[in-house]
Structure 1
């Protein structure tokens, strides 16, 4: 039985998920020649999607390598996984020579526009195969609107790897109880272990809690973190409201409870990955940097601090800047320097203090381009502006984590600069959802803006 649907993939889908060709089950896929041309133009650029373009090209090549002639490629080649067909057969992949299409009624006229050529390809296939469902898959909203306006019947977004349908459904990392916690507890098993107090309570009290979620109420007495969840019980580690608020790292104390939760997760050696989300000015970078300095210089738990981030699409290639890799990255790491200066502004010689902190903590600024292939040992890694990274890029960074290394992801889902990402498809959203049940990960969504009253007003009203 032949496939009932034929999917036409846009370039941004292949860049978003180079393995997407294996996600359409038994349905057929076609890739317009224009998409291959776009991948070819991207693969050699010094930008953060070049690696994804190369990966997508390799996947396409592996699938089509079994074709014996050109006509077979245009008709379709069966999609195989590592040389073997899946139990549920996948469809066929073909390349469509859309550059051969001539202007005709119903087509978009400006064929110099690559989006128009891809849409025309879909329109041609829709007219050629009226009994099949032709579906254009693209992450470009405007292209979806153009395709529908041109008469294409089915246009979809690629959502296979989208874990949440609404950004508001993303776990905040902390849960506020409307009533005092102890009022609802009839039975509790409290015990001490490794200097901490734990409470084992019935799961019906916290039915939706998950690993390393922070629980608190309005009593300003109870605050805890979920450390174990089973079918009938939940085990909480008692943190104590006062102890949380009295934490101090490198002279910085939390202003609100969310900052205190973040500081606790950063300082806890049992947490390997801390994910800090929040609006601009909420204190993410300040808290992360203060804790990192405390752990490297005062406690000597790590040997160095590595700071990395994606370089903006305005200037993907850092090679045009003078100096070493660290010096080239300086323009994009100014937020770290700003926070270092803020932490030492009361010192007698602030600039000397900042220089001392950078040298003593061995702070290294690294480009994402040079993170691949490394194994980072005994370091705390701050991934700044993580909302601009794809799930694949964040996977690349997190899998660099070696023995004795802690990863910290910082990001604001309202400030995505990438043309290929939205708040729902950002790698930051992806890892928050993927790691919610991992015992070595904690995520905290910051509330409040403390940079200035102007910054607070701008965040709320613009």
Structure 2
């Protein structure tokens, strides 16, 4: 890598493999600074790209992004740093490949980590650069928490998580999809203009009453005297559709009625044909999958708005190679979609022949169970799509799925940010959190945090006390 001048304030960022897997275009995220990719990272990407796993696609995308930048550059320039021009900002950074296998031959001293694994080689690369380019700041960027701890313990001064996809600093700041006011809503409203459009009543109130609001955000109060939804925001005023607390609690789908006001808001958005994307988050047992599937059956079979229901979810690492399971794609996915099949059983448990009813519903609704691996490249039209357990998906994976949805498709994404299984995701970097924040001001979407466990008193006690 080329030498740095004393007056050069740019930093040196050493990228770990998991950063490029998490965001294949991460090399464009560091503006005027210098990016270093150790050779070990390229070797790991090479090993991953041919695996029959979802992550292999991200490895290939990362490799293509790197190849695009260094294509045509001489070996000397690749080691010194190829310029990265950032469109729009006018800044220029550099990308270089660090030949760690050559520069770290002598690692017998106590100042080095043992060379017994890729993580340690990458840490040693950062330590070497830190020593060579002092006093310039060398930063190891990794999503592996334990690797960050090891790097700090080994003497690396600067270690960071990859933050480009962190949409909020604290999960408590994540949009809930509703505003819950203390006291009476009408007690806060001094001036209100109400108009009637057909069966709908719309109130125009002062924008300061709700502070920062966005379209399709719900508004309720704790006196149960008002329930509405924001339908338009202006500089000095906000338009609210008056839904009514009682009417919201009277919503129903496939025989399912809301057990609390949060489920009422969720059902309202799920049953609204003008809302293309609904994001449901909340603790286990709050009714996310139950409500989504009931709404899917109602809108597909009873109302005929969709021609099929597609259910998919992220599969844990041990399940990604579904080719080893027997049967068709749908049969292979069934073990990982137990929550959905359990919900179907509950919805039809009182039927004379529950098993026959379930099979009839599966056929009538054209209910399909799909792996995320097989959703890429498709164009999904006229379907109700349910993505379950979305907290384990990255922003890139969810973007791929959302861009598959064509006309006449409704997408429901549900998950619990407290149940992330991925080693490289946290509540603030999960694709679920990313979608909630990025789509909160899109007038074709709504999100609702289902506050409260309704599965059972046992589940509620466990959620609150364990």
When normalised by structure 1's length, the TM-score is: 0.96
Check conservation: 1:3, 1:91, Cα contact below 8 A: no
**Residues of 2 paired with 1:327 and 1:253: CA distance?**
31
Q: Secondary structure of 2:368's partner? A: strand
Q: Secondary structure of 2:292's partner? A: helix
**Residues of 2 paired with 1:263 and 1:89: CA distance?**
47
Work out which of the residue numbers 94, 97, 106 in structure 2 matches 1:95.
97
Work out which of the residue numbers 402, 411, 424 in structure 1 matches 2:406.
402
Bigger Cα displacement from structure 2, 189-198 vs 29-38: 189-198
Question: What are the superposed Cα offsets for residues 170-213 of structure 1, whole Å, 9 maximum, x if unpaired?
Answer: 01111111121112222211112242111111112111222211
Which sections of structure 2, spanning at least 5 residues, go unmatched?
none
**Residues of 1 paired with 2:201 and 2:309: CA distance?**
31
Q: Give the equivalent residue in structure 2 for 1:45.
A: 51
Mapping 1:173-192, distance limit 5 Å? 173-192=177-196
Q: Give the equivalent residue in structure 2 for 1:78.
A: 83
Q: Secondary structure of 1:91's partner? A: strand
Q: Secondary structure of 1:62's partner? A: helix
**Residues of 2 paired with 1:228 and 1:106: CA distance?**
64
CA RMSD of aligned residues (A): 1.4
Give the direction of change, closer, same or farther, for the CA distance of 1:382–1:255 in structure 2 (3 Å limit): same
Q: Give the equivalent residue in structure 1 for 2:276.
A: 272
Check conservation: 2:184, 2:225, Cα contact below 8 A: no
Check conservation: 2:24, 2:62, Cα contact below 8 A: yes
**Residues of 2 paired with 1:109 and 1:80: CA distance?**
35
**Residues of 1 paired with 2:55 and 2:430: CA distance?**
13
Check conservation: 1:123, 1:151, Cα contact below 8 A: yes
Q: Secondary structure of 2:327's partner? A: coil
Mapping 1:5-154, distance limit 5 Å? 5-68=11-74, 70-80=75-85, 88-100=90-102, 101=104, 102-154=106-158
Bigger Cα displacement from structure 2, 85-94 vs 291-300: 85-94
**Residues of 2 paired with 1:86 and 1:281: CA distance?**
46
Give the direction of change, closer, same or farther, for the CA distance of 1:352–1:169 in structure 2 (3 Å limit): same
Question: What are the superposed Cα offsets for residues 80-109 of structure 1, whole Å, 9 maximum, x if unpaired?
Answer: 46xxx7662321111111122121434444
Q: Secondary structure of 2:412's partner? A: strand
Work out which of the residue numbers 305, 311, 315 in structure 2 matches 1:311.
315
How many residues matched? 458
**Residues of 2 paired with 1:111 and 1:359: CA distance?**
57
Bigger Cα displacement from structure 2, 383-392 vs 219-228: 219-228
Bigger Cα displacement from structure 2, 424-433 vs 349-358: 349-358
**Residues of 1 paired with 2:176 and 2:101: CA distance?**
48
Check conservation: 2:383, 2:410, Cα contact below 8 A: yes
**Residues of 1 paired with 2:138 and 2:208: CA distance?**
48
Check conservation: 2:315, 2:336, Cα contact below 8 A: yes
Q: Give the equivalent residue in structure 2 for 1:282.
A: 286
Mapping 1:214-253, distance limit 5 Å? 214-253=218-257
Q: Give the equivalent residue in structure 2 for 1:328.
A: 332
When normalised by structure 2's length, the TM-score is: 0.95
Q: CA deviation at 1:457?
A: 2.4
Q: Give the equivalent residue in structure 2 for 1:432.
A: 436
Q: Secondary structure of 1:444's partner? A: strand
Q: CA deviation at 1:328?
A: 1.2
Matched, 1:443 2:447: yes
Check conservation: 1:189, 1:199, Cα contact below 8 A: yes
Work out which of the residue numbers 338, 345, 349 in structure 2 matches 1:341.
345
